Amino acid sequence: AVSNKEQHSISYTLSRVQTVVVEYTHDSNTDMFQIGRSTENPIDFVVTDTVTSGQSLTDGQTIQSTISRFACRIICQRNPPYSARIYAAGFDSSKNIFLGEKAAKWRMCDGQMDGLTTNGVLVMHPRQGFTQDSRPGVWREISVCGNVFTLRETRSAQQTGKMMDSECNELVDGSLIDLCGATLLWRTAEGLARTPTVKHLEVLRQEFNAGRPQCPVGFNTLAFPSLRRKDVLDEKQPWAYLRCGHVHGYHCWGGRRDPEVEAECQERECPMCRAQGPYVPLWLGCEPAFYVDAEPPTHAFMPCGHVCSEKTTAYWSQISLPHGTHAFHAACPFCIHPLSGETGSVRLIFQSPLD
C-alpha cells in the first residue's frame, strides 16, 4: 500500500519494528483540497509564514518555518449540503502520510488508529456565524482522522488533549484554521454573498472622501488613497492620534517633521485634547472577507491604523490568534500586527468642513 502510488495510505510508526498502515479508497462523492508549505503537486494551496507588517528580513536572513509541508486536507461534498470537513496532515506526492515514531498517535477503542501532527492543526468556529453578532469560539485541535480535541499544553507536546465527542470537524462560515505560522479564514459561498465587495468598499471610500473631512490644524482636506495605493503615503492621507481618535492631516505639531519617522508610532500630543499616544497614518482595510457587516469605516485598529466598521474591529479585537508554540494574542486581520490598548481599536473623530 505504501509503495503503490495509486493508493492513498497513512502510516503510523509505533516503534522501529512496528508500523500500522491504513489504506484509503477513492470516493466519487467528495473532492479533496490540500494545504501546506510544499510546492509539490498534491498541495492545492501553498501557504507561507505570515510576517507582521513592518517586519522585514534582511538579505540572506531566513526564518525556519513552523508550517508543515503537508499541513492539512479539506474534504468537500460534491452534492448538497456541500459540507467541508478538515483533517490534519496531507498526502505527499506518493499519496502517503507518514506519522513518525515521535508523533502523538494512539489506537482508538474501535481499533482504528489516529494521531496528531507535530505542530498541530487548530480550528476555531465562531458563535452565531460570521455576522455582526458573531462571538469568538473555542480553539480546538483536529486529528489526522478528523476528531476534535482540546489543545495540548504546547503545540508539539506528546500528551494529547481531551477528545470532544460532541464536536465535529465540519467547517462553518468564519472558521479560523491555524497552521502554526499562518492563520486561514474559511468563508462559505453563502457567507461571501452577504459580505461587502471590493466595489462596495470603494463606494464607502468615495463617500468618505466626498464628505471632505478636514485637518483641524492645517484646514486641508483629507482623503483615503485608492485601494490600489494601499501602502503609499499620500499628501492627503488621514492621520490619527490613537489615544483619543482625533483625525488630522500629517503635521509636525509637537514632534518630528519626517513622515517616515512618524510612521514608527512615536508618542505625540494631540493638539485638540492634549492626549499623548501613537500618531499613525490611517489605511482603509481592503479585504472584504474580513468584514462582518457593510457599515462605513469609523474605527481603527491600534496601533497599525487599519480602518473598517465598528463591529468588524470589535469582532477581531476579541479573537485571540495562536502565536508561537503556546501564546495567543489579538491581531489586526489586515496586517496581523498585535493589537494594543484596552479594546484594540479606537473610534475616529473627524473634523467636518467649516463651510
Phi/psi at 262 (5° precision): -60, -35
Instruction: Round to whole Å and give the CA distance between 217 and 199.
Output: 32
| Residue 8 identity | H
Buried b (16+ CB within 10 A) or exposed e, 116-153: bbebbbbbbbbeebbebebebbebbbbbbbbbbbebbe
List the chain residues with pLDDT less than 70: 52-63, 230-231, 253-266, 353-355
Convert 152-175 into a string of H (helix), E (strand) and C (coil): CCCCCCCCCCCECCCCCCECCCCC
How far from the centroid of its chain's Cα atoms is residue 340's Cα? Answer: 17
* Of residues 91, 116, 75, 77, the one with CA closest to residue 36: 91
SS3 content of the chain, % helix, strand, coil (to 5): 10, 30, 60
Angle at 286 between CA 292 and CA 54, to 5 degrees: 115
What pLDDT is attached to residue 228? Answer: 75
pLDDT, tens only, 141-197: 999 999 999 999 999 898 999 999 999 999 999 999 999 999 999 999 999 999 999
Mode of pairing for the β-strands spanning 72-77 and 84-88: antiparallel
What pLDDT is attached to residue 40? Answer: 95
* Of residues 240, 246, 324, the one with CA closest to residue 282: 240
Are 45 and 160 in contact by the 8 Å Cβ rule? The answer is no
Strand order in the sheet with 283-284: 283-284, 306-308, 299-301, 345-347
Compute CA distances 64 → 23, 49, 52, 55, whole Å.
33, 9, 15, 16
What pLDDT is attached to residue 45? Answer: 97
What pLDDT is attached to residue 355? Answer: 42
Mode of pairing for the β-strands spanning 148-149 and 105-107: unpaired
What pLDDT is attached to residue 60? Answer: 43
What pLDDT is attached to residue 216? Answer: 87
Are 208 and 224 in contact by the 8 Å Cβ rule? The answer is yes
Are 87 and 97 in contact by the 8 Å Cβ rule? The answer is no
| Residue 48 identity | T
Question: How many other β-carbons are positioned within 10 Å of the β-carbon of residue 82?
Answer: 11
What pLDDT is attached to residue 308? Answer: 96
Instruction: Round to whole Å and give the CA distance between 316 and 135.
Output: 9
Angle at 260 between CA 55 and CA 212, to 5 degrees: 110
Compute CA distances 124 → 26, 246, 344, whole Å.
29, 35, 20
What pLDDT is attached to residue 294? Answer: 94
